Amino acid sequence: MQPRPSSISLVAALGVWLLAFSLPGSEAHAGTVRGQPASRALEQAEPNVRVYAVTLTIPTYPYLDALRPTLPEESIYPYPRLDFAALGPPASAHYKAIVLENRYLSITVLPALGGRLYRIQDRTTGRDVTYRNSVIKPTPWGVRGWWLATGGIEWCFPLEEHGLNEWRPWKYYIRQSKGQASITVHDVEDRTGMIVWVRLTLDATHSFLALEPGLHNPTASSRSFQFWLNGMLSLNQNHVSERTRFILPAASLRLHSTGDADLPGPGATITWPDYQGRDLSLYQNWKGAMGGFASPAAQADFAGAYDEASDQGVVRIFPRSVAPGVKLFAPRGLDPGLWTDDGSSYFELWGGLTPTFGDFAVLAPGQALEWRERWYPVSNLHGAFTHADETAAARIVDSGDQIQIAIAPTQAIAGKVVLWVNGAKAAEWPASMQPGRPFQQTWNKQGAAVSEIEVIILDKYQRRITQYVTR
pTM of the model: 0.90
Mean pLDDT of 194-215: 98
Q: Indicate the residue type of 294.
A: A
Please give the share of the chain, as a percent, with pLDDT higher than 70: 90
Residue 7: predicted pLDDT: 35
Residue 21: predicted pLDDT: 42
Is the confidence at residue 133, as pLDDT, over 80? yes
Residue 6: predicted pLDDT: 38
305: confidence class by pLDDT, cuts 50, 70, 90: very high
Pairwise CA distance, residues 278 & 272, whole Å: 10
Domain 390-470 in CATH 2.40.50.180? The answer is: no
Mean pLDDT of 393-411: 96
Q: In this predicted model, what pLDDT tens digit does every residue of 330-349 receive, in sequence order?
A: 999 999 999 999 999 999 99
Q: Indicate the DSSP class of residue 437.
A: B
Q: Report whether 253 contacts 247 (CB < 8 A).
A: no
Paired residues of 81 in beta bridges: 68
Q: What mean pLDDT value characterizes the chain? A: 91
Is the confidence at residue 74, as pLDDT, over 90? yes
Q: Which of 173, 143, 145 is nearest to 160 (CA)?
A: 143
Is the confidence at residue 45, as pLDDT, over 70? no
Pairwise CA distance, residues 169 & 61, whole Å: 17
Other beta carbons within 10 angstroms of residue 154's beta carbon come to: 27
Q: Indicate the residue type of 47.
A: P
Mean pLDDT of 4-31: 38
Q: Pseudo-torsion of CA 372, 376, 382, 383, nearest 10°?
A: 40
Residue 178: predicted pLDDT: 86
Other beta carbons within 10 angstroms of residue 465's beta carbon come to: 15
> CA torsion sign, 375 to 378 to 381 to 382?
positive
CATH assignment, 10-379: 2.70.98.10
Q: Degrees (nearest 5) of the Cα angle 322, 113, 369?
A: 20
Question: Going by C-beta distance under 8 Å and a sequence separation of 6 or more, which residues neighbour residue 369?
Answer: 3, 5, 10, 13, 214, 215, 216, 322, 363
Residue 15: predicted pLDDT: 45
Q: Which of 439, 303, 294 is nearest to 357 (CA)?
A: 294
Mean pLDDT of 430-438: 97
Please spell the DSSP secondary structure of 176-202, one letter per residue.
Answer: EETTEEEEEEEEE-TTT--EEEEEEEE
Residue 92: predicted pLDDT: 98
Q: In this predicted model, what pLDDT tens digit does every residue of 139-193 receive, in sequence order?
A: 999 999 999 999 999 999 999 999 999 999 999 999 998 899 999 999 999 999 9
Residue 408: predicted pLDDT: 98
Q: Report whether 262 contacts 308 (CB < 8 A).
A: no
Preceding amide of 59 cis, omega within 30: no
Other beta carbons within 10 angstroms of residue 229's beta carbon come to: 26
b/e sequence 389-402, b meaning 16+ C-beta within 10 Å: bbbbbbbbbeeeee
Residue 47: predicted pLDDT: 53
Q: Indicate the residue type of 268.
A: A
Residue 389: predicted pLDDT: 98
Instruction: Report the length, in residues, of the chain.
Output: 471
Q: Indicate the DSSP class of residue 282.
A: B
446: confidence class by pLDDT, cuts 50, 70, 90: confident
Domain extents in the chain: 10-379, 390-470
C-alpha distances (whole Å) from 232 to each of 67, 140, 304, 305, 324 are 24, 17, 12, 12, 19
Q: Report whether 359 contacts 228 (CB < 8 A).
A: no
C-alpha distances (whole Å) from 15 to each of 177, 214, 268, 366, 372 are 19, 12, 42, 11, 16
Is the confidence at residue 234, as pLDDT, over 80? yes
Q: Degrees (nearest 5) of the Cα angle 190, 195, 197?
A: 120
Paired residues of 105 in beta bridges: 122
Other beta carbons within 10 angstroms of residue 232's beta carbon come to: 22
Residue 37: predicted pLDDT: 35
Give the lowest-confidence range in 34-48, 139-153, 263-277, 308-322: 34-48
